[in-house]
Structure 1
Amino acid sequence: MEVVVVETTQLGDRSYLVHDGTVGLVVDPQRDTDRIEAAARDAGVTITHVAETHIHNDYVTGGLVLARNHHAAYLLNGADNVGFDREPVSAGEVIRVGRLTVKVVATPGHTHTHLAYVVRDEAYDGGPAAVFSGGSLLYGSVGRTDLIAARDTRGLAHDQYKSVRRLVDEAGPDAMLYPTHGFGSFCSVGPASKAQTSTIGDQLASNHALTDPDEDHFVTGLLANVTAYPAYYAHMNPLNSAGPGPASFEVPESLDPAELTHRLEAGEWVVDLRNRVAFADDHLLGSVSFEYGTGSSFTSYLGWVLPWQQPLTLVGPLDEVERAIRDLARIGIESLDAAVGTDPGSLAHGVPLVRYPVSDWLGLARDRTPDETVLDVRRTEEFEASHVRGAVNIPLHEVLLRVDELPEARTWVHCGSGYRASVAASLLHRAGRDVVLIDAPFRAAAASGVDLTRANAE
C-alpha cells in the first residue's frame, strides 16, 4: 500500500491517493483534480474509487468531477442529502479497492455525517493500517464542531470526543494517520501541531482529545477555543451538496485600459496581487491589496473579506494571476477577469496613481501623534493576549463593515505579520482614510519601545 499526499497549503488541507500499485482510492480531492490525476499517472495506477469524509465547509470538492471523469465509484455517506448520484456508504461497510480493504467508520463531530476510512493491504495481513480521518482526529487536535449550527455545536463536540476513540479502537496504535485538515485550515480547533506525519499511537500520547479522561472538560476546553472562521464557508456546503461541476483555470484575455478604468470608476472590486509595499507606494485609485504568494493567506482572506460573488478583477503579473485564479476556484470564486502587467499606470486610462506610507514599530513610536489611532486588525483572541496600549481592535474580516467606527484622524494599521494590515490599510485608503501601514511583526513591537498591555489586566 502506498499513500501519495497532495497538499493544498493555501487552504491548510491535504488530499490523498492510496493505491496497491494497480488501482487507487482518492480521499477528499480538491477542485483542481489535475494534481491528483498527475499523481495517479506517476504511480501508474487507475483511479477506481473516490471518497469524501464529509461535505466540506472550507473548499469546493473535486470529488464528483474526478469520479465521473474516471468512471470511478463515488463514496459518500448515504445519510447526506445531495443532488447527484453517488455510491452511498455507511458505518461498518467494507469496500474492496484492488487488494486494499477500506472500512467505513462513523466519526460524527466535525459534521453530523462525518466518516473516516481505515485502509489495509490484504497482502500484509496484520500490518499497519492507513487512517483517513478528514476533520475528525487531526495532528494534535480535532476538527471544529461549530460549522453546522450554534445549537449543534456542543453536541457535536461530545460526538467528536467519542468518535476519535472509536477510530483509535478500529485502527490500532501502529496505524498511520492522514487527516484532511489541520495544516493551517480554519476547520481545525485546539492546540496546533507542526507535525508533518503521525500515527494513532503518537496521538494517543499527545492529542488532548485522547489524553483528557473527562469528556465534559474536553468539550468545555474545545468550545473555549472556537474562533471566527471565513465567511465564504457558508457557501461551500450548499455548493458541494448540489454537485459542483468542473472549474476553468484559464487566464482570460487581459482587460483593455478603458474597461479597467470603467470598473474602477464604477466602484467594482479590483484586486492588486503585487507585493504589499509596492502596492502602498504606487497603485490605481480604487484598487485594494491582497498580496499573492504568502502561504495560505491570500485565498482565505480574500474569500473572507470581500463581498461574496461580486464582480472581481485581478491585477498583477501573469504567473500570479494564473495561480490566483486556480486558488480562488477552490473556494468557488470563478469567472474572474484580469488586467495583466506589473506597471499599474499602464493598465488603466486616466486613473490616478496613489500611495500611502509604510512604517515599522520604531516609526510608530517616533512619529505617531496623540490624536492618531492605532488599529489592530488581528483576531479578538490575539488582541486579548497582548496589544498596543490604547489600540482599537477591528478584526480584518470586520473592517469593511466598521469603517465608520474609526476616528477621522490618521490611522496606523498593524496585525501579526503585516499581511492582514496591508489588506485593511488598502480598504481604508479606498474609503478615503489617511492610513499608515505598519509592515512589521507584532513580536518586534515591545523591543521598539511600543507600550503593550494585556486586555484582562486593564
Structure 2
Amino acid sequence: MDIVVIETPQLGDRSYLIHDGAVALVIDPQRDIDRVESTAREAGVTITHVAETHVHNDYVSGGLELARKHGATYLVNAADPVKFDRTPVSDGETVSIGSFTVKAVATPGHTHTHLSFIVEDGEKQAVFSGGSLLFGSVGRTDLVAETDTVGLTRDQYASVRRLVEEADHSAGLYPTHGFGSFCSSGPATGADSSTIGEQLTANHALTDPDEEHFVRELINNLTAYPSYYAHMGPANAKGPGPADLSVPESLDAAELTRRLDDGEWVVDLRNRVAFSSSHLQGSISFEYGDGSSFTTFLGWVMPWDQQLTLIGSREDVEDAIRDLSRIGIDSPDAAVGTDPRTVAPDAAVASYPQVGWDGLLAGRADGETVLDVRRTDEFADTHVDGAVNIPLHELLNRMDEVPAGKLWVHCGSGYRASAASSLLQRAGKDVVHINAMFDAAAAAGVPMTRTAVEA
C-alpha cells in the first residue's frame, strides 16, 4: 500500500491517493482534480474509489466530479444530506479496494457526520482523519452553528479517543487539515508527519484528562475564520460542478477603465511594493506571490458573488484562477499585464508611501493613527501603543469607524496591510503602508502594549 500526499498549501489542506500498484482510493480531493489525475497516471493506477471524510467547510470538493469522470465509487457518509448520488457508508462499515480494506469510523466533532478512515493491507495501517485528529490538535468545532459548538467539542474529545483505540499505535496519521488551515484549532505542532502513537503523547486532545478543561480551552482559543466558509458546505452538499481553469481573453483597456470608474472589484496580483509605487486608481492589492495568503484573504474580504477582474502576469492570473476555483469563485475576468499604464493607458494611476518601522518612528506626526488590521486575538496579545484595531476582514463593513487623517497601516507581515491600504485609499483615505514584520517592531523601538501572560 502506497500513500501519495497531494498538498494544497494555499488553503492548508492535504488530499491523499492510496494505491496498491493497480487501483487507487482518493480521500478529500480538492476541486482542481487534474492534480489528482496526474498523480494517478504517474503511479500507473486506476482511480476506483473516492471518499470524503466530511462535507467540507473550507473548500469546494472535487470528489463528485472525480468520481463521475472515472466511474469511481463515491463514498460519502450515509447521514450526510447531499443532493447527488453516492455510495453511502456508515460507522463500522468496511470496503475492499484491491489488496487493502477501508474501515469507516464515526468521528463527530468537526461536523456532526464526520468520518475517519482506517486503511490497511495486512502489513501496514494508516488513519485518514480529515478534520478530527490533527498533528498536535483537532479540527475546530464552531463551523456548524454557534449553538452546536459545545456539543461538537465534547464529541471531538470522545471521537479522537475512540479513533486511537480503533487504530494501531504504529499507524501513520494523515489528516486533511492542520497545515495552516483555519479549520484547525488549538496548538497545532506544524509537524509534517506523525503516527497514532506519537499523538497519544503529544496531542492536547488526548493528553488532557479533564474533558471540561479541554472543552473550555479549545473554545476560548478559537479565532475568526474566513467568511467564505459559509458558502462551502452548501456548495458541497449540493454537488459541485467541474472547475473551469482556463484563462479568459484579456480585457481591452476601455472596458478595464470602465470597470474601475464604476467601482467594480479589480484585483492587482503584483508584488505589494510594486503596487504601492504605481497602480490603477481604485484597484485592490492582493499580491499573488506563491499564493499562500492570496486565496484565504481575498475570499474573506471581497463581497461574495460579485465579478472580479484580475490584473497581473499570465502566470499569476492562471494560478489565481486555479486557487479561487477551490473556494467557489469561478470565472474571474482578467487583464494580463504588469504595467498599469499599459493595461489601461487612459485610467488614473495612484500610489501611496511604503515604509518600515523606522519610517513610522521618523515620519508619524502627533495625532496620526496607527491602524492595526490583524485579527482581534492578535491585537489583544500585543499591539503598538495607541493603535486602533480594525481587522482586514471587517474593514469594508467598518469603514465609517476609520479615524480621520493620515493612517499608518500595519499587520503581521505587510500582506494584509497592503490589501487594507488599497481598500482605504479606494475609499478616499490618506494611507502609509508599513511593510514590515510585526515581530520586529519592538526591536526597532516602537512602543508596545503586551497583554499576554508569558510563561
Tell me which interval the TM-score lies in, with the shorter structure as reference length. Answer: over 0.9
Amino acid at match of 1:310: Q
Instruction: Determine which of 410, 417, 426 is the counterpart of 1:414.
Output: 410
1:369-380 pair list within 5 angstroms = 369-380=365-376
Asked whether the equivalents of residues 94 and 104 of structure 2 are also in contact (C-alpha less than 8 Å), the reply is yes
Residue 89 (structure 1) aligns with: 89
Amino acid at match of 1:384: A
Residue 58 (structure 2) aligns with: 58
Instruction: Determine which of 183, 200, 205 is the counterpart of 1:209.
Output: 205
The offset of 1:455, in angstroms, is 4.4
The offset of 1:35, in angstroms, is 0.5
Q: What is the DSSP-based 3-state SS (H/G/I as helix, E as strand, rest coil) of the residue aligned with 2:102?
A: strand
Pair 1:295–1:334, CA change in 2 (3 A): closer
Residue 191 (structure 2) aligns with: 195
Partner Cα distance (1:455, 1:131) in 2: 40
Can you give the 5+ residue segments of structure 1 that lack an aligned partner in the other structure? none
> For residues 166-189 of structure 1, what are the alpha-carbon distances to aligned partners after superposition, in whole Å with 9 as ceiling and x for unaligned?
110111210000000000000000
Residue 342 (structure 2) aligns with: 346
Residue 148 (structure 2) aligns with: 152
Residue 381 (structure 2) aligns with: 385
Amino acid at match of 1:325: I
Residue 13 (structure 2) aligns with: 13
Partner Cα distance (1:50, 1:386) in 2: 45
Amino acid at match of 1:399: L
The offset of 1:349, in angstroms, is 4.1
TM score, norm. by length of structure 1 = 0.98
The offset of 1:348, in angstroms, is 1.4
Residue 268 (structure 2) aligns with: 272
1:71-150 pair list within 5 angstroms = 71-121=71-121, 125=122, 127-150=123-146
Asked whether the equivalents of residues 134 and 188 of structure 2 are also in contact (C-alpha less than 8 Å), the reply is no
Asked whether the equivalents of residues 254 and 344 of structure 2 are also in contact (C-alpha less than 8 Å), the reply is yes
Q: What is the DSSP-based 3-state SS (H/G/I as helix, E as strand, rest coil) of the residue aligned with 1:244?
A: coil
Instruction: Determine which of 147, 160, 163 is the counterpart of 1:164.
Output: 160
1:437-456 pair list within 5 angstroms = 437-455=433-451
Q: What is the DSSP-based 3-state SS (H/G/I as helix, E as strand, rest coil) of the residue aligned with 1:412?
A: strand
Partner Cα distance (1:317, 1:456) in 2: 42
Q: What is the DSSP-based 3-state SS (H/G/I as helix, E as strand, rest coil) of the residue aligned with 1:14?
A: strand
The offset of 1:295, in angstroms, is 4.6
Residue 304 (structure 1) aligns with: 300
Q: Is residue 2:240 matched to residue 1:237? A: no
The RMSD of aligned alpha carbons is: 0.9
Residue 328 (structure 2) aligns with: 332
Question: Which runs of 4 or more aligned residues in structure 1 lie more than 2 Å from their structure 2 counterparts after TM superposition?
Answer: 454-457
Q: What is the DSSP-based 3-state SS (H/G/I as helix, E as strand, rest coil) of the residue aligned with 2:50?
A: strand
Q: What is the DSSP-based 3-state SS (H/G/I as helix, E as strand, rest coil) of the residue aligned with 1:95?
A: strand
Amino acid at match of 2:107: T
Pair 1:375–1:85, CA change in 2 (3 A): same
Residue 68 (structure 2) aligns with: 68
Partner Cα distance (2:290, 2:37) in 1: 26
The offset of 1:454, in angstroms, is 2.2
Partner Cα distance (1:85, 1:366) in 2: 64
Partner Cα distance (1:245, 1:256) in 2: 30
Residue 247 (structure 1) aligns with: 243
Partner Cα distance (2:247, 2:421) in 1: 28
Partner Cα distance (1:342, 1:439) in 2: 21
Partner Cα distance (1:342, 1:312) in 2: 17
Partner Cα distance (2:402, 2:334) in 1: 32
Residue 48 (structure 2) aligns with: 48
Asked whether the equivalents of residues 118 and 125 of structure 2 are also in contact (C-alpha less than 8 Å), the reply is yes
Asked whether the equivalents of residues 383 and 455 of structure 1 are also in contact (C-alpha less than 8 Å), the reply is no
Asked whether the equivalents of residues 141 and 149 of structure 2 are also in contact (C-alpha less than 8 Å), the reply is yes
Residue 39 (structure 1) aligns with: 39
Partner Cα distance (2:137, 2:203) in 1: 6
Partner Cα distance (2:249, 2:124) in 1: 51
> For residues 109-129 of structure 1, what are the alpha-carbon distances to aligned partners after superposition, in whole Å with 9 as ceiling and x for unaligned?
0000000000000xxx3x341
Partner Cα distance (1:79, 1:97) in 2: 22
The offset of 1:192, in angstroms, is 2.1
The offset of 1:215, in angstroms, is 0.8
Partner Cα distance (2:369, 2:387) in 1: 7
Q: Which moved more, 1:84-93 or 1:402-411?
A: 402-411
The offset of 1:447, in angstroms, is 1.4
Amino acid at match of 1:120: E
Pair 1:455–1:118, CA change in 2 (3 A): same
Partner Cα distance (1:311, 1:21) in 2: 44
Q: What is the DSSP-based 3-state SS (H/G/I as helix, E as strand, rest coil) of the residue aligned with 1:448?
A: coil
The offset of 1:335, in angstroms, is 1.4
> For residues 308-337 of structure 1, what are the alpha-carbon distances to aligned partners after superposition, in whole Å with 9 as ceiling and x for unaligned?
010110000000000000000000001110
1:163-182 pair list within 5 angstroms = 163-182=159-178
